Amino acid sequence: MGVVTLLALIDYFTQEDHTPYRSLVFLINDGEEDYLNGAVSYAHHDLAASTRTFFNLEGAGAGGRATLFRSSDAEITKFYKGAKHPFGSSLSGDGFKLRVIKSETDYLIFDGDMGLRGMDVAFWQPRARYHTQFDNDAHSSIDSVWHMLGQALDTVKGMSEDKTDDDALEGRTAPGVWFDILGDSFGVFRLPTIFALTMCLLTITPVLLGAVVFILFQRKKLYLFSKAGKDATGSPLVPLSGWKGFFRYPIAFILATGIVSAIAYLIYKVNPMIAYSSTEAIWSCLLSLWFVVAWTSLNAAAVWRPSASHKIWTLSWQWFGWWLMLIAVAVAQDRYEIGGLYFLLTFYGGVFVALIISIVGLFTLPAKDELIASIREHDNEIEDNDDRSQLAGLVGHRNDDDDDEPSEQTPLFGRSRRNIGGSSTSRASITGSDSCSRGKECSKRPYKNEQYWGKYLPKYTWIAEMLFNIPVPLIFTAPIGLLIGTAIAQVGADGGNEAMFTGKS
């Protein structure tokens, strides 16, 4: 398939209307499996002295799309942006760099021994047939050939028409970080740029978050860390319960992760080879199990102890976890030049925006003293308008206007206290357990047993929070998961440790 691609490129560039600005060398070599002898032979050829860049076509499988495996630097990778259907992630290049992928291609000679700048493009499906008697054209497709040819043609055209000085072509720039977006767009960045962005997120976002929290504190709207509001005499009046639900998410996360890890170990012990034949089934099983366990535990906690601050605490824990992960990403970028973890920045950025939206919603709350004063005012109104003590209704005293005779439906402890502004001032109403029959009033009430101040929180910010926290990161992450899942389906073919999957050494 690589030979067919090269012959098609030769046919294109030898046409009169397609004469390239730079000279092109088309190398059809053999002996790769015997210590890369074909590439080594070219390194000793006279033509080797005149070459500056390369575009290597490889195969880690017989089909699928041709992915950009490796690249020498960011500047040379920009030529790949001209491809109509780009595909690849710099995470695969890190796999070679860290020796997770132990096999090699001619890239090792061109980039390492000859010092050329270029890219490594290869098929990567179906991995289970790689290096077997089934690694043939019968298990490939014409679409795979067209994809490789299209990538090669667009990239080589850009490289051959470049008018940069030859001396500049010999100099390397910073390592590149690249990725495709849904197979239609392609992003290329210098690793120092991604590192600078990572450091900015690590430092600026906590400061911004702290500033918002401080403003909330100054305006007395920071209910999250409050236990109970107090009146002018200092005695507790309203249970604010800001800490309610604080430990809920980490407990659910640990529980779900532990169960999934146990099931993964069980699969490894019972049927390790299923990873070869049913990779998608493994992914679906483990991911579904994690979400089911997490949802069940969080939902049970919400039924047992409803909390208006549950969402904010959950997003806060997620943000803190990704912030710690971002520290590890920064270390990998700075010390080991690992740029393939760029997708973790999208997770961090998404959950941070969602958290900010959720916390900004606290500005809709009344100040704590205003909330307490309003409840005290309601209490005073009832005391002034009732000629008997408020306790009278709680011990079976009937008002003068209660003309109907007692029956089996008459409350044992008298009439319930009147509602003011759609919410009762009794202790039950403060916790949200009173009944409600009027739609307008119900929209202003907290959910049952949630904190009283929860009724002031906006109810529709979850849409924006969900969009930033889930779909946006998945656009960058899902293709990587599919790529890695398929690429490691047969690590033995790459010289990897088969014991990792088979349990045998």
Catalytic positions, written as ranges: 32
Structure token digits, residue 500: 């990792």
Spatial CA neighbour of 216 closest among 339, 91, 366: 366
List the helix and strand counts (H, then E) for the chain: 19, 9
Asked if 332 and 338 count as a contact pair (C-beta separation under 8 A), the reply is yes
| 3-class secondary structure, 105 | coil
Dig out the tokens for 42 from the structure.
Answer: 């070219």
Q: Residue 86 in contact with residue 180, Cβ under 8 Å?
A: yes
Transcribe 436-497 into DSSP letters: ---HHHHTTSPPTTS-GGGGGS-SSTHHHHHHHHTHHHHHHHHHHHHHHHHHTTTGGGGT--
Q: Which two tokens stand for residue 43?
A: 């390194």
Which amino acid is located at 22 in the chain?
Answer: R
The first and second tokens of residue 289, run together, are 């199990």
Is the CB of residue 455 less than 8 Å from the CB of residue 444? Answer: yes
Q: Could you give the angle at the alpha carbon of 153 between the alpha carbons of 149 and 156, nearest 5°? A: 130
CA angle 94, 99, 101 (to 5 degrees): 80
CA atoms of 171 and 460, how far apart (whole Å) = 54
The 3 state secondary structure assigned to 151-191 is HHHHHHHHHHCCCCCHHHHHCCCCCEEEEEECCCEEEEEEH
Contact yes or no for 194/326 (Cβ under 8 A): no
Q: Which of 152, 135, 5, 137 is nearest to 85 (CA)?
A: 152
Amino acid at 248: R
Assess contact for 178 and 71: CB atoms under 8 A. yes
Rounded to whole angstroms, how far apart are CA atoms 434 and 17?
A: 82
- Amino acid identity of residue 366, one-letter, is P
How many whole angstroms from its chain centre is CA 253?
A: 16
Stretch (H or E) spanning 420: strand 419-420
The helix (H) or strand (E) run that includes residue 3 is helix 2-13
Q: Are 198 and 348 in contact (CB under 8 A)?
A: no
Q: Residue 417 and residue 428: Cα distance in Å, rounded?
A: 11
